Amino acid sequence: MKICFTGDLIMLSPPTNEYWTNNRIIEFLKSCDVRCGNLEMVLSGDTTFASTFCGGQWVTTSPDRLNLIKKFGYDYLNTANNHTMDFSYLGMQYTNKLLDEHGLLHTGSGDSLEEASEPAYLTRDGLKIAFISCTASCDDAARAGDPVHNIPPRPGVSMLRHSEDLYVTPEYLALIDQIAEMTCINARFLKAVRMGIHSLSPDIHRLGRLQFKEGTRCYKHSHCNKRDLKRIKDSIELAKRKGADLVFVSVHSHDIKGMTDDTADYYLEEFAHECIDSGASAIIGTGTHQLKGIELYKGKPIFYSLGNFLFASELIEYAPADYYERYGIDSNITPEEFYNIRSKNGTIGLERDPYNYRSIIPVLSYDADGELTDLSLRPIELGFSSGNCDRGFPLLAEEDVCDEIYSRLKTLSDEYGTGIEMNRDVIRIPV
């Protein structure tokens, strides 16, 4: 049984008719038994109101786009990410209902936290497969909640909250305390401490929402919220109890360890290891639109980020008043004019980074007992230099781009001690 995964799917504009002609990537995907991806957009068009927050920009498109996405043969889509709630509860519910009507499995969002956390199942070649998903990057208002007493549940996403510990040397702690005192930035919080609403450990030095501790050097460390981590691990264990031979966990994260988008944050590494310890077969990361390193942990693959699969994100068809207000733009202008202003005529933004147009499609092969027998990666490119309407749509990478992706992925994966081999247009990881 072969299962493949793709990165983020954003299709605000459709490809040309020529794109679908002799496109080998569709043939490649359909050679697998199961196809999975991350749906990073709302499919409600202009039928629902927008949230006051968004995942960077408000991302919705016509429900008809799902017909084009289905051409890639998807069986399952993760719906937990920073854009899921861009158009509030109705946008999320509309999207999930549409996926149900089209027979596509999905997890990660729902009408309650329980529903958003539930695994989805399918059986292929005698193996029962479970899918679980969550997002670590979204506005807290997007977080789903469960009912209690007479209070009904809250729709939203399965969120993996996390926190950062910031360590600085004593001289910087003294400076932080001095700034806090001079600006009164902690005044309201300290009042809540005196009232017994909050508590403050003596080793914590606050500067607004930031919390610092004393260290021998300056650095940060992050860790998972224990409650959310336990809930997601419980979902994995539930899937195993229900007879799942394989459990795949998708996690959407924008946080980074260093200064570049190709490093996985500490809490993401913690999360991946904990999930595999609880029975997960593989961890599928998305979020920063770029590839991150690959780790084999106890023989199970962790893809810290697959980057993009569809990145046609330049044409904003539907934008709320908040978006125009954010950029100080007249709401009567066309979407094309809007984009040109926001991107300074296409010179800035995510769409200008060539690394956002390089990705891989992992293919995991399992035997009848659910044991991983082969792990291959097919490099793809998304037409960064094409300059036409098909920019942002995937193609199987040519040899020179395959070599480029292999070299970069090998460097990123060296940190985890992962052996990577190149064989023409396929990257292999010995298992």
pLDDT at 387: 64
Asked which of 16-20, 25-29, 376-380 is least confident by mean pLDDT, the reply is 16-20
The mean per-residue pLDDT over the stretch 222-226 comes to 97
End-to-end CA distance of the chain: 16
In this model, does residue 404 exceed pLDDT 70?
A: yes
Q: What is the pLDDT of residues 158-189, one digit of tens each?
A: 999 999 999 999 999 999 999 999 999 999 99
- Return the biggest CA–CA distance within the chain: 69
| Spatial CB neighbours of 396, under 8 Å, sequence gap ≥ 6 | 24, 25, 28, 378, 379, 380, 425
The mean per-residue pLDDT over the stretch 403-413 comes to 97
| Residue percentage of the chain with pLDDT more than 70 | 99
Whole-number average pLDDT of the chain: 94
pLDDT at 409: 97
pLDDT at 336: 75
Residue 342 binned pLDDT confidence (cut-offs 50, 70, 90): confident
Spatial distance between the Cα atoms of 361 and 5, rounded to a whole number of angstroms? 6
Q: What is the pLDDT of residues 209-223, one digit of tens each?
A: 999 999 999 999 999
- The secondary structure of 114-125 as a DSSP string is HHHH--EEEEET
In this model, does residue 388 exceed pLDDT 80?
A: no
Q: What is the pLDDT of residues 53-75, one digit of tens each?
A: 999 889 999 999 999 999 999 99
Spatial distance between the Cα atoms of 254 and 267, rounded to a whole number of angstroms? 12
Residues of the chain with CATH 3.60.21.10: 2-147+222-428
| Domain 2-147+222-428 class, CATH top level | alpha beta
Q: What is the pLDDT of residues 109-142, one digit of tens each?
A: 999 999 999 999 999 999 999 999 999 999 999 9
